[in-house]
A and B are shown apart, each in its own frame.
Chain A
Amino acid sequence: MQFKQIFVAAIASAALSLAPVSARSQNPTVPEGVRLGLNYTLGTKPGVLVLPMDSVGGDSVRAIIQRDIDYDDRATVIMLDDASVRGMMPKTGDKYNYPLFAKLGVVAILRPERSLTGITVTMYDVAAKRRVQVGGFPLLAAANSLAWRLALHRASDEVERWIFGSPGSAATRVLYSGGDKQIWVIDSDGENATKLTSVSLAMSPAWSPDGTKFLFCGFTPSGSQIALYSFVTGDLHWLSGTARGLNITPTFSPDGQTVAYASGTDRGTDIMVMQLGDASPSHAITVGKGSDNTSPSYSPDGRQIAFMSGRAGHPEVYTMDADGTNPSLLTEFTYGEQAYRASPDWASDGRRIAYQSRIDGQFQIMTIDLRDRSTKQYTSDGQNEDPSWSPDSRHMVFSSTRTGPRQLWVLDAESGRMRQLTHAAGARLAAWSPVLKP
């Protein structure tokens, strides 16, 4: 592995593409607005070692940071037993035996220490044999509470920014419909699974862009209606701008002002849009002419909407402008093919759309690259459905029957590595949150 040198790069630059600068020649004081990053060969995962932390709760702090870095899928967490690691640590100060760490494949050493308000994390570059970053992270909430864990995930995300130039997305949560057909939320690392609703048949949760609210649909005496839930107040209210009957698959526009959803009548199901906090009624933006159009997902710039439609005789994924003009088939159409493509989700980097596609009778998770229309299949075992991108567009959460009962799984879009997120049967229709601010 050839990632032994430190370099300095402007934040705006693509750090990894720059030629490495010798550590000896660089200015040891880092100017404001300039960040440090480790240099490593693309396609390899740099080894990261998290040192034990001496204090109550230290083990769980270390374990959470290690897991976050592991789940981020960009580094290899070097797992050493406590005694070995302590034996390798200097008695005092930070004069580490860097060659020894290098031999173990460690590129970066992370040292978490308790501070007055939380933790301080120091990062050492093994190749450059020096300290390269120090950051303080407040942990003000009670240990192991939801807020405490989210704050620690933020620390992990920032440490990943130190290493890779872009933050991780551990400080996020996933909404889903549980086996009890209620909306649940779970932390990105699989902790704190919590039921949020008690309505009839709650489905299709969708986060607001600021992560403080979500939309979903549930059954009421006047049909399936759209509800808005606030994490701030814990209140749930049914949106009044919808018609009686079938109203499903809500989603927010990226500016949080518009709700797009599907509404069904005798004449089929069409995508509607409605301004939030506005008395003006919904209006249709698709003209399905008796076909079904559902599951809208906005492009990150808000100008386009991906959706699924049966207008060609079988379910396919389409895109259109946000006002409903210029609908076009997203995936390649093969005449006579009985394809079934569904559940589009537009990545926040704008480049790809994830969807499910029926292959040999089973749904699989696919992505299509919007630049060259190339597709990639990520799964092959069981039924795999309803992908939702992480806010950094590097992971997807989806439901899968690969091990039997339907569960949520997370896959790394780069390597295809998977991990199971939920452990109670029946979880589906997941929605990955934006990065959650304190």
Chain B
Amino acid sequence: MDPRKTILGLVALALTAGCHKAPAPLAAVPLSANSDSLDRARADSITRANAARQAEIARAQAEQDSLRAVREREQREAAQNVDAMKVLSATIFYDFDRSDLTEAARSLLLAKVPVLQAQPTIRIRITGNTDDRGSSEYNLALGLRRAAEAKAFLVNNGIDASRLAITSMGAEQPAAQGESEAAWSRNRRSEFAAITGGSNQ
């Protein structure tokens, strides 16, 4: 073993020990050590302490960076989730007294497929609605058929039917009030909501 290292080690030990209650074992320092080696040892010790402090700072910095990265990743994922939920819950619309899917409805439904595939635990309730111009009783059935058409489209595109429940509110929960095509066209719709637990339908 290199004696200088031993001395340095002892000095370091003494310095370290100095911080503690135990008296420094000065008697253990070899008498052969000259003032030069002591100076170097002190300088090295300072360098070491500085290095340790810098390492500590770097470690803290890295930790902070890592935390920020996690936070940023979480925010990014949350944003993606919001986008995913937006895609998933996007309302689709229908023509008067029709339950077949328009081109616009099909593309909105297609966009839901990868989201549903990426999140296999999510279940969806599809609620069909109508405008208030038909028979209010028949409209309950028409709303259900609209929801069923949307469900069938998703099933045909690979989504497990057991993940899709359908229901109807007929004309009973209008999204828009008024007796105009502007209101009616907003009310002829299927809405999509994520649900947890429970059996189908």
Contact = CB atoms under 8 A, between A and B. Distances in A.
Interface in B19-69: none
The 7 A-B pairs of least Cβ separation, nearest first, read A292-B141, A342-B135, A269-B141, A264-B144, A266-B148, A245-B201, A249-B137
A90 to B, nearest CB: 57
Given A201-B172, A292-B145, A264 B140 contact: yes
Interface of B: 97, 134-138, 140-142, 144-145, 148, 151-152, 166-169, 172, 199, 201
Interface stretch (A154-162, A308-316, A327-335): A308-316
B137 A343 contact: yes
A189 interface: no
A294 B168 CA distance: 14
Contacts of B199: 244
A315 B168 contact: no
Contacts of B136: 203, 385-386, 428-429
Given A223-B167, A266-B151, A269-B144, 8 more contacts: A246-B168, A264-B141, A264-B168, A267-B148, A293-B141, A295-B135, A295-B137, A342-B134
A416 to B, nearest CB: 23
Contacts of B172: 181, 201, 203
Interface of A: 181, 201, 203-204, 223-224, 244-246, 248-249, 262, 264-269, 290, 292-295, 308, 310, 314-315, 340, 342-343, 356, 385-386, 428-429
A262 B141 contact: yes
A423 B78 CA distance: 52
Given A246-B140, A340-B134, A268 B145 contact: yes
Nearest to B167: A223
B193 to A, nearest CB: 15
Contact of B141 (A201, A248, A385, A428): A248
B69 to A, nearest CB: 44
B123 to A, nearest CB: 15
Contacts of A310: 138, 141-142
B148 A386 contact: no
Contacts of B145: 264, 268-269, 290, 292
Contacts of A295: 135, 137-138
A222 to B, nearest CB: 8
A224 B140 contact: yes
A343 B135 contact: yes
A203 B138 CA distance: 12
A308 B137 CA distance: 10
Contacts of B137: 203-204, 248-249, 262, 294-295, 342-343, 386, 429
B142 A292 contact: yes
